[in-house]
A = this chain, B = another copy of it.
């Protein structure tokens, strides 16, 4: 079998080596812009350029090296419905997101951001502690990654809430679902953790109207996709004090442009899309296993439902 391999960073060599090791029966064809297309059975991609459309349309399944498949669904009808799009399962990303979100939640809860500002001024001043009763955490999107984040937060004793498109049940978590549950979910949440896929339904979901529903002096942590947040609305709510802080790992345009006002806003903490880095070896092992199942005519998990967008 032949596998077309494409990396946005251009560095495909270590991926080729891992596939040679873990799926030796396959021949790996690194994709290069402008070279003639070669017939392949599968494609393994991350942020493929528009010029790959023809080659992607010709394979049986496309494996996305990440959980969010918005970079593939943008191809729309150029990818026929018979071509399976497969997202990466957890592959070590859940733990990384749990670390990222736990750090950000504790930072806000224990006021470490404020202590850091005080220390910069040479100020030694204990602040009134927040109470956990006043600090409910709400995770928007409770798939495999969102559930892992909720599990990591549970031992710290926060009141936990979760929202999903369809009703789910997570032990110890107040669960809300659907458009009709979103209002109640937001109105009782102090720290909103965004873990949604980017779809036609979630783009700009976190706009002024919805962000304004959060409890007073709220916080936003976005580890999903930047385009879910209406950035000017967030900035306005932060400047007005209604939202006290935001930790953003993902932005609408990445890298964040140099003149973007978020760089200058002290209440916004920025990281360069590192909350969950793809672990190459773990990912290759997962994809190799799925390819073997497909080649044997078996079913696989993590196949994207294009009507839902994830």
Contacts and interface: CB of A to CB of B under 8 A. Distances in A.
Interface size range on A against B: 35 or more
A95 B263 contact: no
A47 interface: no
Contacts of A156: 95, 98-99, 152
A156 B258 CA distance: 35
Nearest to A100: B110
Contacts of A115: 270-272, 274
A126 B127 CA distance: 33
Given A263-B119, A263-B122, A274-B115, A106 B109 contact: no
A155 interface: yes
A274 B106 contact: no
A126 B273 contact: yes
A126 B274 CA distance: 6
Given A156-B95, A157-B95, A102 B112 contact: no
Interface of A: 95, 98-100, 102-103, 106-107, 109-110, 112, 115-116, 118-119, 122, 124-127, 129, 151-152, 155-157, 254-256, 258, 263, 269-274, 277
